[in-house]
Amino acid sequence: MSETPSDQINPIGQNLIGLSREELTAELAKLGEKPFRAKQLWHWIYHRGVSDFTEMTTLGKGLRDKLMENYVVARPEIVTEQRSKDGTRKWLLRTADGNEIESVYIPEEDRGAMCVSSQVGCTLTCTFCHTGTQKLVRNLTPAEIVGQFMVGRDSYGEWPSPKDGRMLSNIVMMGMGEPLFNTDNVIKALKIIMDGDGLALSKRRITLSTSGVVPEIKRIGEELGCGLAISLHAVTDELRDVLVPINRKYPIADLLDACRAYPVASNARRITFEYVMLKGINDSAAEARELARLLKGIPAKINLIPFNKWPGAAYDCSPTPNIQRFSTILNDLGLSAPIRVPRGRDILAACGQLKSESLRAHKAKLSQADALPA
């Protein structure tokens, strides 16, 4: 593990994290360096996790000095790292322009998934999602997306990037934001993460979750071929228009057509359909049966998510027996429909809860700043 010493932070330096291999090669060409130097640098940054140029001993002093003058290797700044009783970790991260994002790591016994954000906030306003109530929104850069994963690796000290037995074995693009409103940056970031000479996460270990930005789904299949998760949550357009308002633009039939056309959809790599369980809203036996009917012909598995209530939310979580009944009906109709165990509730790290603390902290800080004498 390596940290950027604060005396090395070069305020005008461009961040090398987030550049594609071609861009990194072009940057080094500007310094008069051959392409193999870019390969070495890539290895230092993404395989070894090193951010201090002075540690990059294969590069030669002259080049290291030039790099130090012009560039940085910078993750987002860690504001806080919280650890849940169940092992879940949550980071509040600050970007260079002072925005705040959250990332969550969810451990299993011998592996785990980093839940990565794609935007500051979200422009969509799904009525059950806390992130959707956040006003401030901007797309994250490739550096900020890749940087979140690297912060997780730092926290576990998993450098050099191990091939086997890693705790940070998976990525789910299920943090704050709608990844397919930031498709270019998300694709660029995930390509960096998938690169075998660096962070080396296979596309089979990456899942992108979307609320249903239909025209972008094809690109994900073609350019990444990673796993796809769809936030479905309702079986009629009437209800989905309310819960997931992007449905008014891309209704259920169009969304499911895009899923049928998703290139990696096969029985071995099924599409995940996420379904948040809302008491008396979408949790009836009839809706479970309708869900199975809708998904006929699609290699699908369903993830039933108990609703995580947040202050001011208009919904309640379905009672456990209703969720179990829903799951059993789907199972009996041949669909796998496990109930997701909420993780990290004590640190507000569960699905849909990301935002609150950061905004509150942000506001508190602003008012503190106001109170300071000029």
Active site (catalytic) residues? 102, 351
- Cα angle 112, 149, 348 (rounded to 5 degrees) comes to 65
CA 278 to chain centre: 24
* Three-state DSSP state, 243: helix
Binding to ligand SF4 (CB under 6 A) within 157-196 occurs at: 177-178
State how far the alpha carbon of 356 is from the alpha carbons of 29, 82, 317, 349, in Å. Answer: 44, 14, 19, 10
Q: What is the DSSP code (8-state) at residue 103? A: E
- Segment contacting ligand SAH by CB under 6 A, of 2-10, 97-105, 148-156, 302-310: 302-310
Verify binding: residue 274, ligand SAH, rule CB under 6 A.
Answer: yes
- Decide: is 231 part of the binding site for ligand SF4 (CB under 6 A): yes
Residue 50 or 126: which CB sits closer to ligand SAH? 126
Considering only the stretches 128-136, 260-268, 307-315, 366-374, report the one whose residues sit in contact with ligand SF4 under the rule CB under 6 A: 128-136
Size of the site for ligand SAH (CB under 6 A): 16
| Contact between 126 and ligand SF4 per CB under 6 A | yes
Residue with tokens 């899923």: 259
DSSP 8: G
Closer to ligand SF4 at the Cβ: 37 or 130?
130
In the bound complex, what is the minimum distance in angstroms from residue 108's beta carbon to ligand SAH? 18
Token pair, residue 369, equals 């700043």
Residue entry with tokens 């935002």: 355
Identify residues 97-126 at the interface with ligand SAH (CB under 6 A).
126
Residue 371 phi, psi dihedral angles, 5° rounding: -80, -10
Contact criterion met (CB below 8 Å) for 113 and 170:
yes
Site residue total, ligand SF4 (CB under 6 A): 11
Among 44, 71, 91, 128, binds ligand SAH (CB under 6 A): 128
| Min CB(86)–ligand SF4 separation in Å | 23
Q: Which does 46 bind (CB under 5 to 8 A by kind): ligand SAH, ligand SF4, none?
A: none
Site for ligand SAH in 209-248 (CB under 6 A): 209-211, 231
276 binds, among ligand SF4, ligand SAH, none (CB under 5 to 8 A by kind): ligand SAH
* Nearest CA among 120, 352, 125, 122 for reference residue 244: 125
Helix/strand/coil for 163: coil
Question: Is 132 a residue that touches ligand SF4 (CB under 6 A)?
Answer: yes
Q: What angle do CA 247, 311, 132 make, to 5 degrees?
A: 30
DSSP state of 341: P
Q: Which residues bind ligand SAH (CB under 6 A)?
A: 126, 128-129, 174, 178, 209-211, 231, 274, 276, 305, 307-308, 351-352
